[in-house]
Structures are given as structure tokens and as C-alpha cells.
Amino acid sequence: MTKIPSVLFVCLGNICRSPMAEAAFRHALDTRGLTALVDSAGTGGWHAGDAPDPRGIRIAAAHGVDISDLRARQVHSSDFNDFDYILAMDEQNLANLRAAQPAGSSAKVSRLLDHVDGRQGQSVADPYYGGEAGFAQTWADVTAGAEALLDALTNDTA
């Protein structure tokens, strides 16, 4: 079986979007009988050590994925060599990652939705200050991104 590259999902706080993206990608791997190194992190460190937002935990659980054990952490410079792909949720995360990427490091940095046909350049909106409906939209977006990313990784077109 081909080895799936390692992937790191990144948002601002690592409590809403990126843990949900990690969950959606793990779910996509499980469904296809694949395994890979997968993690998530935030460009900011304010929520380091915190569990995912309860609204995100609930919606992931409703789709059969338990993310209650995840704990937030900030992006490290070593991540740019430890992961093959780093997926930003939005434009600001992407700019911060590009600014932080050490020269000569190997990770390929892109927006998650760049991997979805017709959604290049789009962001996964931050649901933190909204209601449950925003988290349902986040789940739909990160699932579309995770499935398309895994398609591209398994076809070697990412």
C-alpha cells in the first residue's frame, strides 16, 4: 500500500476548525482502511492545552468521530519539517504560516479548500463567535476538504 504523507491542519486557536478537519481526515482515512500521521495546531497559543470547542465535539460525535481527547497546541517551527503537508483553514492562517516557515523546510503549505475542485482560494469560515449552524457548515467544509485532499494524496496529485 502507498504510504500516505503526514498532514497538519492549522487554524487560529486549534479549538474549532483544525480539530474538526483532523477528525474529518481521520474519518476519511478509516473509511478507506488507510493510516497516516495526522495532527492539528493553531497559529495562536491562547488556547494551548484546551479541549476542542464543545460545539465541534458534538458535531464530530454526531458523525461518529470522538475528538474530546484532542488538546490544542501552537504551530512549532519543527512542524515544517515533521509534516509533508500543512493545510491552512483561512487566508490569515496561510499568511502566518508562510511568514513562519523556516527557509529550506520541506512542508507544502496550502489552504485546505484549494484541494476542492472549484473552491480554490476559499477559506473555512471561523465559527467561534457564531451558533451551531456555523459548526455544521464548518463540518461540511472540512469534510469536503479532507476527502479531496485524501483523493489527491492517494493519486499523488496534491
- Give whole-number Cα distances, 102 to 54, 82, 88, 89, 132, in Å: 34, 12, 16, 20, 37
Nearer to ligand 4NP, 46 or 77 (CB): 46
Q: Which of 16, 17, 39, 79 is catalytic?
A: 17
- In the annotation, is 17 catalytic? yes
- In the annotation, is 11 catalytic? yes
Distance CA 71, CA 56 (A): 13
Q: Which residues bind ligand 4NP (CB under 6 A)?
A: 11-17, 46-47, 126, 128
Q: Which of 53, 84, 90, 126 is catalytic?
A: 126
Task: Please state the closest distance from residue 111 (CB atom) to ligand 4NP, in A.
Answer: 14
Residues 30 and 107: beta-carbon distance below 8 Å: no
Task: Please state the closest distance from residue 93 (CB atom) to ligand 4NP, in A.
Answer: 8
Nearer to ligand 4NP, 14 or 85 (CB): 14
Distance CA 44, CA 3 (A): 31
Dihedral sign for Cα atoms in the order 71, 59, 139, 126? negative
Residues classed as catalytic: 11, 17, 126
